[in-house]
Chains A and B, each alone.
Chain A
Amino acid sequence: VDMALSNVLELPASGFNFENSARNAVLEDVLGDGKTKTPKPMKTGTTIAGVVYKDGVVLGADTRATSSEVVADKMCAKIHYIAPNIYCCGAGTAADTEKTTDLLSSNLTIFSMNSSRNPRVIMAVSILQDMLFRYHGQIGAFLILGGVDFTGSHLYSVGPYGSVNEVPYLAMGSGDHAAMGILEDGFKPRLELDEAKTLVCSAIHAGIMSDLGSGSNVDLCVITRQGVDYIRPYQESEFKDQRQGRYKYKPGTTPILRENVEPVEVEVMQETVQKMDTA
């Protein structure tokens, strides 16, 4: 008897699942009458980077989330927890990266409970690849997965169509060109921890300064066999806004036109006293 194992993602019946594409097309017609548009998902417009160093992996990300050229969140967290030994940076559509990484994390937790082991990085990669390929690119998640397991330190890039690359250093997001320039220049195999942290920080910083979709602070996450060091923020943005005016409003600035006080009638229906043992 073939039972669905509790530690494996449930696979659908066959082929691609396009249940919602017909509905989306209809909605697009109904809403896209020229005046209203389907709501644009919030994208992170990001710079994320990762580097494999001597004892593990360093992941870095900026903290700005944009919603079509307006900054929606100045301090969003782009380095997501997957497992105690695996973290994932996400670029692309914010909701997609959040939900995909949450789903992955839940599945790996179930696996860990079943087998009393920390998951391997390649497992996370395989599950992600399978899911993203199945959705044919509709899930806009550009991910950098980094982790350390007993086979060693690994850094993978996973694209929205399900493509996977294992590499020693990596940058993704709208600021990837700027970050990659720094990484290509400064990377060498078997870096020390401080060198690796400085390198990733400079790469993200280049993305923050050159790319309009990235900004604010730099978050870092260092993963080793011994544990994880999640540094948020690692480097704060140098600009400290100094507004000179005080923009406080005195009470009465917004006039009260009418006041209506209605007492709430309460009736005591039942009273119970439970003694607490304070001995």
Chain B
Amino acid sequence: MQHCADGGRMREYHYTGPVEHKFSPYAFNGGTVLAIAGDDFALVASDTRLSEGYSIHSRDSPKCYKLTDTTVLGCTGFHGDCLTLTKIIDARLKMYKHANNKGMTSGAIAAMLSTILYGRRFFPYYVYNIVGGLDEEGRGAVYSFDPVGSYQRDSYKAGGSASAMLQPLLDNQIGYKNMENVEHAPLSLDKAVQLVRDVFISAAERDVYTGDALKISIITKEGVREETVPLRKD
């Protein structure tokens, strides 16, 4: 034991033994995802920046994955888990198709994703998922998840690092919350796309993990169409 003088007071220091350094199996790779459901369309948008700490791994790593002609999955969080999860979902989609002779609907995919995520309840996939697509009646559907599989159907949802900045803006512009004497016009595809562009420009201004480019997947009964919009690169 050593004694150290510190302004007249004596303090005892002793060797506590070997210190354990923890290895973390997770990393946070940033990114923001947004999905909006309309009357006959759905939008899933994400930025394309992949980062870790203060560095950028890639400026072109979109977070939207096309699952079927009517469903797109957006996932952010730990990129390793995102990749594995999408591989597993693709395999399960094929298995379902072979067993049931039809493709999975958006609702079915959402329910399946919930069970896949809960299956790893005690070592979760560090992924924030949002499923966007058309339901059986052709109306837009958005399902948002937490990392362990709790989900619900929404009309719009933002997830990922800038979600706290986007969600209130969407609540106001799409949900007409906190406003009165405003006409509740139904959301058209053009207005939704314009809103998504503007909202991501704002997110890129204030969130360091969001930027580079924005990829919007537009799902209509014609199929899935993609649009790319540049964002701040700094």
Question: How many Å from the CB of B93 to the closest CB on chain A?
Answer: 35
Q: Is B234 a contact of A245 with CB atoms below 8 Å? A: no
- In the complex with contacts A239-B233, A245-B195, A70-B207 CB distance below 8 A: yes
Determine if A244 is an interface residue (Cβ-Cβ < 8 Å): yes
Known: A211-B55, A244-B198. A71 touches B205 (CB 8 A): yes
Residue B180 CB within 8 A of the other chain = yes
- State in angstroms the CA–CA spacing of A74 and B204 once bound together: 12
Whether A71 and B208, one on each chain, are in contact in the complex, defined by CB atoms closer than 8 angstroms, is yes
Given the complex of chains A and B, what is the CA–CA distance between A70 and B162 in angstroms? Answer: 9
List A contacts of B51 (CB < 8 A).
212
Q: Flag whether B10 is at the interface (Cβ < 8 A).
A: no
Min distance, Cβ A182 to any Cβ of chain B, angstroms:
16
Nearest-CB distance from B50 to chain A (Å)?
12
Q: Is A44 an interface residue (CB 8 A)?
A: no
Interface size for B (C-beta < 8 A) is 29
Q: Which of the residues A45, A74, A213, A249 comes within 8 Å of B205, measured between beta carbons? A: A74
A211-229: contact bitstring with B at CB < 8 Å (1 yes, 0 no)?
1111110000000000000
Contacts between chains A and B (CB distance < 8 A), count: 78
Q: A237-B234, A245-B194 are in contact. Are A212 and B54 (CB under 8 A)?
A: yes
Pick from A69, A215, A247: contact of B234, CB below 8 A.
A215
Chain A count of residues within 8 A CB distance of the other chain: 34
A66 near B208 with CB under 8 A, answer: yes
Cα A237 to Cα B231 in complex, Å, equals 12
Write out the residue numbers on chain A whose beta carbons fall within 8 Å of the beta carbon of B173.
Answer: 247
Do A245 and B198 touch across chains, with their CB atoms under 8 A apart?
A: yes
CB distance B207 to A210 under 8 Å?
no
Interface of chain A residues 231 through 279 with chain B (CB within 8 A): 237, 239, 241-245, 247, 249-250, 252-255
- A245: B residues at CB distance < 8 A: 194-195, 198
Closest Cβ of chain B to A84, distance in Å, is 32
The reply on B17 being an interface residue by CB < 8 A is no
B208–A212 CB distance below 8 A: yes
In angstroms, how far is the closest chain A Cβ from the Cβ of B20?
A: 21
Min CB distance A114 to B, Å, is 35
Does A57 sit at the interface, judged by CB under 8 A? no
A115 to B28, CA, bound (A): 56
- Identify which of residues 173-212 in chain A touch chain B, using a CB-to-CB cut-off of 8 Å: 174-175, 208-212
Q: Are A210 and B56 in contact (CB under 8 A)?
A: yes
A71 to B161, CA, bound (A): 13
- Chain B residues closer than 8 Å to A18, beta-carbon distance: 7
**Bound CA–CA A215/B54 (angstroms):** 12
Q: Given A212, A237, A253, which contacts B180 in the complex, CB threshold below 8 Å?
A: A253
Q: Which residues of A have CB within 8 Å of B180?
A: 252-255
CA distance A239 to B230 in the complex (A): 9
B126 at the interface (CB under 8 A from A): no
Residues of chain A within 8 A (CB-CB) of B207 are 69-71
For A39, what are the chain B residues with a Cβ–Cβ distance below 8 Å? none
Q: Which residues of A contact B56 (CB under 8 A)?
A: 210, 212
Taking the nearest CB of chain A, how far is it from the CB of B160, in angstroms?
A: 12
* Residue B153 lies at the interface, judged by CB distance under 8 Å to chain A: no
- Are A253 and B206 closer than 8 Å at their CB atoms? no
In the complex, B99 has a CB within 8 A of chain A: no
CA–CA, A250 and B56, complex, Å: 41
Whole-angstrom distance between the alpha carbons of A258 and B178 in the complex? 17
Q: Which chain A residue has the least Cβ–Cβ distance from B169?
A: A247
| Residue with the highest number of chain B CB atoms closer than 10 Å, among A71, A208, A241 | A241
Does B185 lie at the interface of the complex (its beta carbon under 8 Å from any beta carbon of A)? no
Q: In the complex the two chains form, is A213's CB within 8 Å of B195's CB?
A: no
11 contacts between A and B (CB under 8 A): A69-B208, A70-B207, A208-B234, A212-B54, A212-B56, A239-B234, A245-B194, A252-B181, A253-B181, A253-B182, A254-B178
4 A-B pairs besides A213-B54, A250-B181 with CB distance below 8 A are A64-B234, A69-B207, A211-B54, A252-B180
Of all A-B residue pairs in the complex, the 9 with the closest CB atoms, nearest first, are: A215-B234, A212-B208, A243-B198, A239-B232, A241-B201, A208-B234, A71-B206, A252-B181, A212-B54
